[in-house]
Structure 1
Amino acid sequence: MKRRDILLRSATLPVVAASALATPALAQSSTKVRWRMPTSFPTGLATLYGGATFLAERVAALTDGAFEITPYAGGEIVPPLGVLEAAQNGTVEAGFTAGFYYLGKNPALMFDTGVPFGMSPRQHNAWISQGGGLEMMRELYAEFNVINFAAGNSGAQMGGWYRKPIDTLEDIKGLRIRAAGLVGSVFAELGAVPQSIPGSDLYPAMERGALDAVEFVGPYDDERLGFQKVAKYYYAPGVLELGASICLIANMDAYNELPETFKQVLQAASAEANTEMLARYDSLNIEALRRLIGSGVELRSWSEEIMLAMQAATQKLLDEEASKDARFKDIHDKWKAFRDDQILWSSVNDGAAQTFLAGNRG
């Protein structure tokens, strides 16, 4: 069977509930599988790194311990931003990471994680599941000898932490900011100096003054990393990251060697982890934000001038990449058409309802 056929076949595997698994078949099987799964995240992030441990626990539970995945913190056995390469080379069997960390390998991997002014997690999941996104992303990842599964989402991320107020575009110029993926390139277009630094190194960099600002995740994770101790101004809304999808990647050879039931377990556990992570963020972020504001953090909103400039910079960068790479253009065009329809649907129904409720909670 050709690799493309294998990928597309696995893309259509059903999400299998625990009750639907053939327990007798699993119990009778003598197959034992042990995988190592480095992540790009420190253990202190109970949501991001916790997504990896949740997934591993579900795989073990659904196979009665026959399929065991051991997660590792970023830097423990491979560098936080070296997870894709390690899985590609077979140094490890799997990884838990985000596609936009690897734009230097293929810029189109940004669409697997999320794009500034893009889609919400719900809309992104619809694109992956029903809009052809999974097939396109799996063709990309196949070039690195891995297969990908959506396995988490942070939800909309905040605009970041700043030592000084950002009132005008002039305030962004020269700003040393940690911002990953295309978000960093957007800040560069506006005159900032973006840095790509693993999460575990951000607080020390801010504390010693090597950074002026940090764009990371949201209130719960940011509070745990202590950014409120080194910066006062916290910006929203997170138009640059309406959601960040986290992926499980598996070495293609290791994946192909799995029994069919274990492949379905991996699919099911990843889908469950995807839902679990977003639910945790949605429940934890608001209380964390209240604590941050209570501790003296100043919550601020981006000005319309700044958001319009960010949006224009995003489109410029996407258009430039599309002009250089026909496949990037094809993915972008299909992604954008789906996003535009989703925005239209939201504006008609649930998005419009949420806007009303924000001002009229009753």
Structure 2
Amino acid sequence: MSTRRKFLSKAAAGTAAVGTGTILGAPAIHAQSKIKWRMQTYAGPALAEHVIKPAIDSFNKIAGDEMEIELYFADQLVPTGELFRALQKGTIDAVQSDDDSMASPTEVTVFGGYFPFASRYSLDVPVLFNQYGLGKIWEEEYEKVGVKWLSAGAWDPCHFATKDPIRSLEDLKGKRVFTFPTAGRFLNQFGVVPVTLPWEDIEVAVQTGELDGVAWSGITEDYTVGWSDVTNYFLTNNISGAWAGSFYANMDKYQELPPHLQELLKLTMDSSHYYRQWWYWGGEADLRVNGPDMELTTIPDEEWATVETAAIKFWDEIAAESETKAKVVEIFKQYNAVMEKAGRPYRYS
């Protein structure tokens, strides 16, 4: 709230300064002023230290006197669920999030975050966007609503971290879990009760019993943001191999950038994607083996196959909703068929 007040105060002060300058007849300043963007990420401070801050720090160093991106964390300027509207209006200039969490009014929103079993590994996401055509679809869908979709990348897989152990599908029933909208919609059929809360309130909500756990991340995030301190068990089965998130910009602000700064922004996003690839991949393995806070549990493969079968039915339900959704689902099916036929190391049946 303090940050929001400062944000609004700066905006008001800037408006007042412009008005005063006009009244006093101050001479026009012809020198090129430094471009300043405000970017908000879905991530809280501890997580942002890895998933976005190193890349933005690098951008600012290279851009020097030409441009600066001011980075804000989850809910600092606007609630995560209002990120799209703020971006569209130009209240903020850029966003790092998934389509699902920021409630984008597009045909592809349902596929952001964790779309059940759309990926097995983190490398699946950039391949789908860059080689199988998802990037083109996302770009076209966001152009329709006046926002510039910039780039997609992968994060961690989606696992349950809970206070009580989960060793069967029966154990999922009645569990109040913080998760993504589409993941919650899918998991509801197994008795999971999806709960939506501000990101920074999750740890306390688990402590007080308002939540039984989270299905928001992999084990790397559980340890990084402190959720491992309030949960006791980590379920090794996951409903997706990688979170799919993107960078977006206000269309007008992006088009005003000179070409070389647009290119620098692209390289910065690529740097961010690469950092997450190795940080999560290494962290997921290391913390399963060496993490001291959570005990690993597993639902047997033959029982978990029920969930995987339900995911394919869920895909078909989503595909029936629109032509664009059907196109995306068909790409998922084609891609996964290729991976299965390719065999090891792409897929282990």
TM-score computed with the length of structure 1 as normaliser: 0.80
Look up the match of 2:181.
Answer: 181
Aligned residue for 1:242? 241
Higher mean C-alpha displacement, 133-142 vs 102-111: 102-111
Q: Which residue of structure 1 aligns with residue 210 of structure 2?
A: 210
Q: 32, 35, 39: which is aligned to 2:34? A: 32
Alignment of 1:137-156 (within 5 A): 137-150=138-151, 152-156=153-157
Counterpart of 2:16? none
The alpha carbon displacement at 1:107 in A equals 5.4
2-structure distance, mates of 1:61, 1:283: 28
The residue that corresponds to 1:20 in the other structure is none
Greater mean deviation of Cα atoms: 247-256 or 108-117: 108-117
Match of 1:170 in 2: 170
Larger C-alpha radius of gyration, 1 or 2? 2
Name the CA distance, whole Å, in 2 between partners of 1:103 and 1:336.
25
Amino acid at match of 2:295: E
How many angstroms does 1:103 deviate by? 5.4
- 8 Å CA contact 2:168–2:303 kept in 1: the answer is yes
Residue 339 (structure 2) pairs with residue 338 (structure 1): no
Root-mean-square deviation (CA, aligned residues, Å) is: 2.4
Letter of the aligned partner of 2:162 in structure 1?
Answer: Y
* Count of aligned positions: 318
Q: CA, structure 1 residues 54+205, in 2 after alignment: closer, same or farther (shift >3 Å)?
A: same
CA distance in 2, matches of 1:191, 1:85: 32
Q: Which runs of 5+ in 2 are unaligned?
A: 1-30
Name the amino acid aligned to 1:309.
Answer: T
What residue is the counterpart of 1:95 in the other structure? 95
Task: Note closer, same or farther for the CA distance 1:79–1:351 as it changes in structure 2 (3 Å cut).
Answer: same
Answer yes or no: is the 8 Å Cα contact 2:169–2:299 preserved in 1.
Answer: no
Distance 1:253 1:104, change over 3 A: closer
Out of 42, 45, 49, the position equivalent to 1:43 is: 45
Equivalent-residue separation in structure 1 for 2:281 and 2:296 (angstroms): 18
Answer whether contact 1:41 1:200 (CA < 8 A) is retained: no
Deviation of 1:117 after TM superposition, in Å, equals 1.3
Task: Give the match for residue 273 of structure 1.
Answer: 272
Name the structure 1 match of 2:14. Answer: none
Query: 1:189 touches 1:313 (CA, 8 Å); kept in 2?
Result: no
Answer whether contact 1:39 1:96 (CA < 8 A) is retained: yes
Deviations 1:272-295 (A, max 9, x none): 111112212223333433443x34
Q: How much has 1:151 moved relative to structure 2?
A: 5.6
1:309 maps onto 2:306 in alignment:
yes
CA apart distance, 1:90: 0.9
Match of 1:350 in 2: 345
The answer for the alignment partner of 1:325 in structure 2 is: 322
Structure 1 residue aligned with 2:28 = none
**Hey, what does 1:7 align to over in structure 2?**
none
2:131 partner letter: Q
1:56 paired with 2:56, answer: yes
Residues 137 and 263 (structure 1 numbering): CA distance in 2 closer, same or farther, change over 3 Å? same
| Alignment map for 1:1-40 (pairs within 5 Å) | 30=32, 32-40=34-42
Q: Is the 8 A contact 1:322 1:328 kept in 2?
A: yes
**TM-score, normalised on structure 2?**
0.83
Q: Which residue of 2 aligns with 1:15?
A: none
> C-alpha separation between the residues in 2 aligned to 1:126 and 1:82?
29
Cα deviation, 1:120-143, whole Å, max 9, x if unaligned, reads 221221121111111001112223
